[in-house]
């Protein structure tokens, strides 16, 4: 695997491959099996696989874990090499944002102001801005994202469609530990006791999906039920929400709901670690 710290170096390396199909998987590093599954999937869609590692300051709010975010570059490179990735773009902040980034992609508030965006204002503006910039740098034909960050994928798909990026977006299923916990770089913050408790989130979301499939349409009752269970086990939930997959808005009480179009999303703190997860109905 070739590692490119500069935009010019990456562009030069990709120049001979411009007539081939290039797949791109952006990451912030600290790679786990979920990321590696994306790399493996990327290989099925392209001749050349490019990954990036860049911890993007723009998507963290003051007081979030930007400084503490785990940086494990050597181990990440070994995993990417083993996964058959051809090129890694790994810029530092000066390369990526030589002056403070003054131009931004501003997703509509209906997309960036709800769920994660309500609790992390500006997060999706930071994500959309860095992803657009990475897309322009790499110029892939296809890019892959994990469905664990369901709202992120929704924002990126809409950005690509509305701004005319000529890139196919593939969303891949969430990869889970044997006990159901969705893999995440932030799982590493959990204490042993919290790690044992953490799979409850996925279990509760699964119960909601089962209930909806069985005909339960009392969505707020189901959401409140999960909130209560989590609170009783020491969690501090931000949201538990049953939403339409396409735009993450609430299914209106009056519209006839096609349950296959719904997703159940949650974010909750366990100790000092904030976990998110979702399940499609
Ligand atoms: O999902 C992530 O790791 C990040 O949000 C992304 C897409 C790499 C942008 O920084």
The distance between the two most distant Cα atoms of the chain, rounded to a whole number of Å, is 58
pLDDT at residue 279, rounded to an integer: 98
Average pLDDT taken over every residue of the chain: 97
| Predicted pLDDT at 253 | 54
Domain count for the chain, please give it.
2
Question: Which residues approach ligand 1 with their CB closer than 6 A?
Answer: 26-28, 56, 59, 127, 130-131, 149, 152
Residue 195 and residue 106 share a domain? no
Residue to substitute in 129, 130, 182 for testing ligand 1 pocket (most ligand atoms within 8 angstroms of CB): 130
Would you say residue 98 lies in a domain?
Answer: yes
Whether residues 119 and 245 share a domain: the answer is: no
In a domain, 178, yes or no: no
Model confidence pLDDT, tens digit, residues 167-178: 999 999 999 999
Q: Assess whether 191 and 136 both reside in one domain.
A: no
User: How far does residue 91's CA lie from ligand 1's centre (Å)?
Assistant: 14
Stronger pLDDT, 252 or 229, i.e. the higher one: 229
Nearest CA to ligand 1 atom 9: 127
- State mean pLDDT over 192-207: 98
Residues 232 and 116 in one domain: no
Which residues, 6 or more positions from 224, have their beta carbon under 8 angstroms from its beta carbon? none
Contact 265, 174 (CB under 8 A): no
| 111 shares a domain with 41 | yes
Angle at CA of residue 160, ends 156 and 166, nearest 5°: 135
> What pLDDT band is residue 257 in, cutting at 50, 70 and 90?
confident
Last residue of a domain, one of 113, 146, 172: 172
C-alpha of residue 17 to centroid of ligand 1, in Å: 25
For 19, phi then psi, to 5°, come to -90, -5
Helix (H, G, I), strand (E, B) or coil at 279: strand
Domain check: are 133 and 206 in the same one? no
Whether residues 189 and 152 share a domain: the answer is: no
Residue 159 lies inside a defined structural domain of this protein: yes
Q: How confident is the model at residue 256 (pLDDT cuts 50, 70, 90)?
A: confident
pLDDT score recorded for residue 116? 98
Ligand 1 midpoint to CA 131 (Å): 8
Helices in the chain by DSSP H: which ranges?
7-14, 33-45, 73-82, 93-96, 109-112, 116-119, 123-138, 150-163, 192-197, 200-213, 219-232
Task: Please indicate, yes or no, if residue 204 is contained in any of the structural domains.
Answer: yes
Give pLDDT, residue 267.
98
Asked whether the predicted pLDDT for residue 265 surpasses 70, the reply is: yes
Which one is catalytic: 4, 32, 35, 254?
35
Global pTM value = 0.96
Protein residue whose Cα sits closest to atom 8 of ligand 1: 27
- Among residues 186, 236, 192, the alpha carbon closest in space to that of 66 is found at 186
Is 157 inside any structural domain? Answer: yes
**How far, in Å, from the CA of 120 to the mean position of ligand 1?**
14
- 195 with 72, same domain: the answer is no
Residue 180 lies in a domain: no
pLDDT, mean of residues 134-141: 98
pLDDT at residue 145 tops 60? yes
Higher pLDDT, 254 or 163: 163
Residue-level pLDDT at 254: 53
Identify the domain boundary among 172, 203, 238: 172
pLDDT exceeds 90 at position 255: no
Residue 220 to residues 101, 118, 241, Cα–Cα distance (Å): 41, 19, 8
pLDDT of residue 22: 98
Question: Does pLDDT of 53 surpass 70?
Answer: yes
The CATH number of whichever domain residue 197 belongs to comes to 3.30.1300.10
Q: Convert the pLDDT of each residue in 26-37 to its tens digit.
A: 999 999 999 999
Catalytic residue flag (residue 35): yes
Please report whether residue 49 resides in a domain. Answer: yes
Query: How would you list the strands of the sheet with 142-146, edge to edge?
Result: 2-4, 87-89, 48-53, 22-27, 142-146, 168-172
Rg over CA atoms, the chain: 19
- Domain extent, residue 80, equals 2-172
Q: Give per-residue pLDDT as tens, 112-127.
A: 999 999 999 999 999 9
Work out the percent of the chain whose per-residue pLDDT is above 70: 99
Whether 116 and 200 map to the same domain: the answer is no
Q: What is the mean pLDDT of residues 6-17?
A: 98
Mean pLDDT over 224-241 rounds to 98
- The CATH code of the domain that includes 12 is 3.40.50.620
């Amino acid at each position: 695997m070739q590692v490119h710290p500069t935009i010019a170096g990456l562009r030069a390396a990709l120049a001979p491959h411009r007539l081939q199909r290039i797949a791109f998987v952006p990451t912030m590093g600290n790679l786990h099996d979920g990321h590696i599954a994306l790399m493996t999937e990327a290989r099925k869609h392209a001749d050349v696989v490019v990954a990036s590692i860049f911890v993007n300051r723009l998507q963290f709010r003051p007081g979030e874990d930007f400084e503490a975010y785990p940086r494990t570059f050597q181990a990440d490179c070994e995993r990417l090499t083993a996964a058959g990735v051809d090129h890694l773009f790994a810029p530092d902040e000066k390369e990526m944002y030589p002056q403070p980034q003054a131009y931004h992609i501003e997703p509509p508030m209906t997309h960036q102001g709800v769920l994660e965006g309500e609790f992390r204002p500006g997060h999706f503006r930071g994500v959309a801005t860095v992803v657009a910039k990475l897309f322009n740098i790499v110029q892939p034909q296809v890019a892959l994202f994990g469905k664990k960050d369901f709202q992120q994928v929704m924002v990126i798909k809409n950005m690509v469609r509305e701004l005319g990026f000529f890139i196919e977006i593939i969303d891949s299923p969430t990869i889970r530990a044997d006990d159901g916990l969705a893999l995440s770089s932030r799982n590493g913050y959990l204490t042993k006791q919290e790690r044992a408790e953490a799979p409850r989130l996925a279990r509760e979301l699964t119960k909601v999906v089962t209930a909806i499939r069985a005909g339960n349409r009392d969505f707020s009752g189901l959401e409140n039920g999960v909130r209560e269970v989590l609170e009783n086990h020491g969690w501090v939930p931000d949201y538990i929400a049953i939403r339409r997959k396409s735009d993450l808005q609430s299914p209106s009480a009056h519209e006839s709901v096609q349950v296959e179009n719904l997703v159940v999303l949650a974010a909750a703190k366990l100790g000092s670690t904030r976990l998110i997860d979702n399940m499609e109905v």
